[in-house]
Each structure stands twice: as structure tokens, then as C-alpha cells.
Amino acid sequence: MPSSFTHAFVGGALGKVCFEPKTSRRIILITIFLGVMPDFDVVGNWLGAGPNSMLGHRGITHSLFFAAIVGAIATKVVARELPRFSRRWWRLYLTFSFVIASHAFLDMFNYGNLGVALFAPFDDTRYFFPIRLIVDAPRVEYFIQWRTLYALAFEVTFVWTPLALYTWRGEIFGWFADVLPETDSVQYS
């Protein structure tokens, strides 16, 4: 794993943070999609690509090369009229590529036996981080199993929660400011 939920969440949260303070719902939906997209490569395995093939799972779609190319395509699709290499173009491009690459980085923490072909198509070595904490992908048929629950609990605790706190810090602080009495109105005697 990490689970698709985590990739989606991380993608959307990165999209929100990178476009603050004016993040549109459209940008968040696009970054959610881009965060999950590399895992569409499971189609390659269904079509017969071997487990360590570049066309199989965690192959080329999990590479930095893919992130760089698809980031540019996504920018073109989303903002067709935007002058290429303008500041706004770079902002969109770097965010989209970063979101796609975030998928591979998360997968490199997986505890399973399938690494990430980070430098495909130039090098088919599969990479992991030295620290591998995230339990490998829950499959649909195992969805209600302790291992899956553990994997999700781990991701929620160590990926979702810190990222959510950071992403929505403005809203959270705003909420506290609304809830707490204003210092001026508190009477001390």
C-alpha cells in the first residue's frame, strides 16, 4: 500500500497547501486524482506485465520522469491559455508534478516486497526508503482484516493527521479564535 485513500488525501492536501490562500475545489479534485493516478498501472499486470516490469505495478507510472511529463500534460489540460513558463504555469506544473511524485515517495515506505522504479525508464531498479513503515496494499478481498485495519490506522495516524493539521491550520486556528472568548471581553478582578 499505502491505500488509495491515503494517496488521494495526500494529493488533495498538497494541492490545497500549494495554492493557498485561493485554492479552488477544482484544483483539489485534480490533485486528488493525480495523487491516485500512478496506481492505474495495475492494468499493466492484468495485461500480463511481469511483477518487476517497467510496465507493471510501481513501474514507469511511479517514476520521476512520469511525474515531470504528466505534470506538464495536466497543466496544459487545466489551463490551456496559460503562457508556458509563466509564473502561474510553473506554479501549476510544479504542484501537479509534486503531487504525482508524492505517490511514489509514499509507496517507497511500504513494507511489502515491491519497490518503486523511481528512475524508470532509464533504470529499472526498484527503490525503497531505508525506513519502511507502511504495511503493503490492502486488497479488496482482504478488506476486513486486521492487517488492513492496522495499515489504515497507521496511515491515518502518521500521514493523514499531521497533514490535515497542517493543511487546515488556518481553519483550525480560526475555529479556536471563534470559540475562545476574546481577551478584551474577559474581566479580571
Residues near Zn ion, by CB under 5 A: 39, 107
Q: What's the min distance (Å) between Cβ of 172 and Zn ion?
A: 30
Give whole-number Cα distances, 71 to 68, 79, 142, in Å. 5, 12, 33
Cβ-based nearer residue to Zn ion, 131 or 180 = 131
Length of the chain in terms of residues written:
189
- How far apart are alpha carbons 118 and 58 in whole angstroms? 8
C-alpha cell, 75: 497543466
For the CB of residue 87, give the shortest distance to Zn ion in the complex, in Å.
31
Beta carbon nearer to Zn ion, 64 or 79? 64
Of 91 and 124, which CB lies nearer to Zn ion in the complex structure?
A: 124
Quote the least distance from Cβ 166 to Zn ion, whole Å. Answer: 23
How far is 31 from 10, CA to CA, in rounded Å?
9
The residue (of 3 and 75) whose beta carbon lies closer to Zn ion is 3
**Residue 39 or 155: which CB sits closer to Zn ion?**
39
The set of cell numbers assigned to 124 is 529499472
Q: How far is the CB of 161 from Zn ion (least distance, A)?
A: 21
Q: Where are the alpha helices (DSSP H) in the chain?
A: 4-18, 25-36, 42-46, 64-78, 87-107, 146-155, 161-167, 169-179
Nearest approach, Cβ of 110 to Zn ion (angstroms)? 8
**Nearest partner of 114 among 157, 158, 47, 50, judged by Cα:** 50
